[in-house]
Amino acid sequence: MNELLDRQFSALADPTRRAIFERLVGEALPVGKLADGLPVSRPAVSQHLKVLEDAGLVSYVSVGTRNIYRADPEGIAAFRRYLDGLWHDALTNLKIHAERTKP
């Protein structure tokens, strides 16, 4: 699991990949549509998609000669479980601290 999280954090550390990922959370798109509005070429978008795919954050289906990419719910769920665990621990520690420092 740590290796997957490392890949996910690394993938999302890049602002272009974050922009691509955020667009795919809203809708499934081919590379050409993803490249529209981004300051990078189609081949660069394809390379970014490969990194996101390797991190389990996006997947694709082939439709004719095009690949249609979408955010991968399973990969996102794994990432979210990790973040939820951090929040749970932080809130538990906050509660303990608050109870210890009551007047």
Distance CA 58, CA 52 (A): 6
Sheet of 66-71, strand order: 29-30, 66-71, 58-63
Distance CA 60, CA 5 (A): 20
Contact 28, 68 (CB under 8 A): yes
71 by DSSP, 3-state: which?
Answer: strand
Instruction: Per-residue pLDDT tens, the chain, 103 aa: give them.
Output: 589 899 999 999 999 999 999 999 989 999 999 999 899 999 999 999 999 999 999 999 999 999 999 999 998 888 888 888 887 677 877 887 788 887 7
2-100 carries CATH number 1.20.140.10: no
For the entire predicted model, the pTM comes to: 0.81
